[in-house]
Structures are given as C-alpha cells and as structure tokens.
C-alpha cells in the first residue's frame, strides 16, 4: 500500500456544484492517486454534502461540522489528514493537472516553508469592467516571480501548502479569527523565523460569485467587520495601523484636520440612499464608459465606504484595537 504524501483539505458550505468541479480537477492530477487524499469538510451545509463514489480515484474523506466557520473547518480537516504535506484550497477553484506536483516540488526545494500559489479570476470574468478592476486590485501587491518573499503576511488559504508537522507546531488556524486567518498563520510562522515562498505556477482559477461591485462590497464589509480579531491580535502590523488610521474613530486635534474630515465624509456617505445612488452611477458608467478613470474612482469609493462600515461595526462588536491611541500618538510625534 502506497504512502499518502499529500492531503488536500477543502472546507465547503452549500456549494455542491462548484465543489464537484473542484473535486473533478483534483482527481485528475499527475501524481498517482494512491499518493494523495482529498478531505472535504462540510461545514453545516443544508442538505448535508454527499461525495460521489469513485473507486479508481484518490481516497476521499468527508468530515461533517455544524457551521463552525472556515478556520475551525480547515483545522478539522488537518486533524484527520494522513499526508506529510497539507494543501488547502477553497471549494470554488479550478487547477491544472500538475497542481499538486508543483506544490510538492516547492517543498522539496524549500523544506519547512509556507508555500502560497497564484489565484486568478477565470477569463470570462475579465470580460466585464468590474472583473478587470477586481483582478488589478487583488494582484496589486502580489509577487510575480517564483521565490522566497519578504512579505511576512503573504498567504491565502484558498491555495497554500504547509507540512503537517509545521502546521501542528503552529497549532493550526486561530479558530477565533474568520477573516485574515491565513495572514495570521503566516505572521505566526514568520515570527518563528519561518519562510514564505510564492509559487506562481501553482495557479488556481477562482470561480467566485462576487463578480459585480454590489456583491463584492457586501463581502468586503463583512470581511472588514470580521477582521477585527485579527487587527487586535496584530495591532502593530503596518496594514492594520493603516486600517485604524483611515477607518477608526475621529481624533479631533490628534490627527490632521484633513484625515478627520475624510472620516466624517465617509460616515455621511455610508447611508443606504447615497450608497444606492453610487451603485447606480457605477452601473451607468459600466455601460457608457467601462474603461474610464471615473468608473475606477466610483468602484474604489464604494469599496472604501463598505470597508469603513464594516470596520466601525467591528469596533462595536469586538471593541477597540488595544493600544491604538498610544500608537497613534507616537505616529503623530
């Protein structure tokens, strides 16, 4: 009996059609089917997920949970994994037949590294103006070359791999963090001297449903709210300092007048009437001026407003970021 080398872990919730496509491409890999397994963690789907039987493909295991959120779901999959290497993917991605093999080669080249693959939108999504905008936005700070990266929080759990031993030493994903939980894992890894490798050839096409500005803004608002535990855990991370600076409470006299006024303006704009009007402007520009700078500005304004709304809601739900006042005063000085 062959030794299981790789365990592919897929958390899922109420997306049976997309999961089926993800499973189909993962079952057609260049590695022998006896050398890897697939673990699907059904996190409270209704009706419960059922995996198709496939006697000739890799071993497939179904783990059922009751809506524990994705961090705990991934940890549950890792708990039952037999492979020396864990590869985490989402349930709405498509990969090439060498996907597992290129992840495995990277770990042989860089032992004990956290390896992060490339994620792109499918070609059909890039036909629309918002799809092109989203691709540019999400790829803005992503490396382009196959190499070690100095970005200590570069990670996406939709396409990443890590040795099982290292994952256990890091105690997995922090289950209390459900937005940016992958960045939290990367930060804990690099804080121990660990390395991160970017692997563009480990490409995954993200067949996401948030392919219009309205649905993307809803997700951004949710993510901004749920990111607060991550911000509280890593308050000195430059990205989190910037989030607090532009979305936190107004600090009259402690920050520049322009910064205070920008927050006030965001608060005024963050009401349903204004937001709906901006969505209509975006829709009009998508038809009449799809490549215009004006459309880009409206997209960014809408995203900024929704991130602001989510951040403020996160402050109410989870409390302030510890030490924010002290760090802000130091930054001003």
Listed range (149-158, 164-173, 313-322) with the worst mean pLDDT: 313-322
CA torsion, ordered 59, 93, 187, 115, to nearest 10 deg: 60
Q: Which two structure tokens, joined as six digits, stand for 274?
A: 């204004």
Packed helices 99-109 and 16-26: angle between N→C axes, nearest 10 degrees: 60
Q: Which two structure tokens, joined as six digits, stand for 67?
A: 């809506």
29-41, pLDDT tens digit by residue?
A: 999 999 999 999 9
For residue 150, pLDDT beyond 70:
yes
* Cis geometry, peptide bond prior to residue 41 (ω within 30 degrees of 0): no
User: Which of 143 and 54 is assigned the larger pLDDT?
Assistant: 143
Spacing of C-alpha 251 from chain mean position: 31
The residues pairing with 115 across neighbouring beta strands, listed in sequence order, are 161, 197
Confidence at residue 166, expressed as pLDDT on a 0 to 100 scale:
98
Confidence at residue 279, expressed as pLDDT on a 0 to 100 scale:
99
Q: What is the mean pLDDT of the chain?
A: 94
86-117, pLDDT tens digit by residue?
A: 999 999 999 999 999 999 999 999 999 999 99
Confidence at residue 331, expressed as pLDDT on a 0 to 100 scale:
43
DSSP string, 190-223: HHTT-EEEEEEEEEEEE--S--SHHHHHHHHHHH
In the chain, what percentage of residues exceed pLDDT 70? 96
Mean of pLDDT values over 214-239: 97
281-329, pLDDT tens digit by residue?
A: 999 999 999 999 999 999 999 999 999 999 999 999 999 887 655 554 4
Which string of b and e fits 280-310 if b means at least 16 CB within 10 Å?
A: eebeebbeeeeeeeebbebbebbbbbbbbbb
For residue 332, pLDDT beyond 60:
no
Closest to 132 in 3D by CA, of 291, 307, 317? 291
Mean of pLDDT values over 71-94: 98
Domains along the sequence of the chain with CATH? 6-206 (3.90.550.10), 213-332 (no CATH)
Closest to 201 in 3D by CA, of 146, 247, 256? 146
């Amino acid at each position: 009996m062959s030794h299981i080398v790789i365990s592919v872990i897929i958390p899922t919730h109420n997306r049976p059609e997309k999961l089926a496509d993800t499973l189909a491409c993962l079952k057609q890999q260049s590695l022998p089917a006896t050398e890897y397994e697939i673990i699907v963690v059904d996190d409270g789907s209704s009706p419960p997920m059922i995996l198709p039987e496939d006697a000739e493909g890799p071993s497939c295991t179904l783990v059922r949970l009751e809506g524990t959120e994705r961090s705990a779901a991934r940890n549950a999959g890792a708990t039952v994994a037999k492979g020396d290497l864990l590869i985490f993917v989402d349930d709405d991605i498509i990969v090439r037949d060498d996907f597992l093999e290129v992840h495995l080669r990277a770990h042989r080249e860089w032992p004990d590294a956290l390896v992060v693959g490339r994620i792109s939108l499918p070609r059909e999504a890039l036909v629309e103006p918002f799809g092109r905008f989203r691709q540019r936005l999400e790829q803005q700070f992503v490396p382009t070359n196959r190499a070690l990266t100095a970005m200590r929080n570069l990670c996406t759990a939709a396409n990443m791999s890590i040795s099982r031993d290292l994952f256990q030493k890091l105690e997995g994903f922090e289950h209390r963090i459900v937005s940016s939980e992958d960045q939290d894992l990367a930060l804990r890894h690099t804080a121990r001297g660990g390395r991160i490798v970017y692997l563009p050839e480990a490409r995954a096409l993200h067949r996401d449903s948030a392919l219009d500005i309205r649905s993307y803004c809803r997700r951004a608002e949710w993510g901004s709210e749920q990111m607060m535990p991550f911000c509280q855990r890593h308050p000195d991370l430059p990205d989190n300092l910037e989030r607090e600076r532009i979305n936190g409470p107004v600090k009259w006299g402690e920050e520049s007048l322009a910064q205070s006024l920008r927050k006030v303006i965001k608060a005024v704009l963050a009401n349903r009437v204004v937001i709906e009007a901006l969505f209509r402007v975006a829709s009009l520009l998508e038809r009449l001026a799809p490549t215009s700078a004006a459309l880009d500005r409206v997209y960014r304004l809408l995203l900024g407003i929704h991130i602001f709304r989510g951040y403020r809601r996160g402050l109410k739900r989870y409390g302030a970021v510890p030490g924010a006042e002290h760090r802000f005063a130091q930054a001003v000085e």
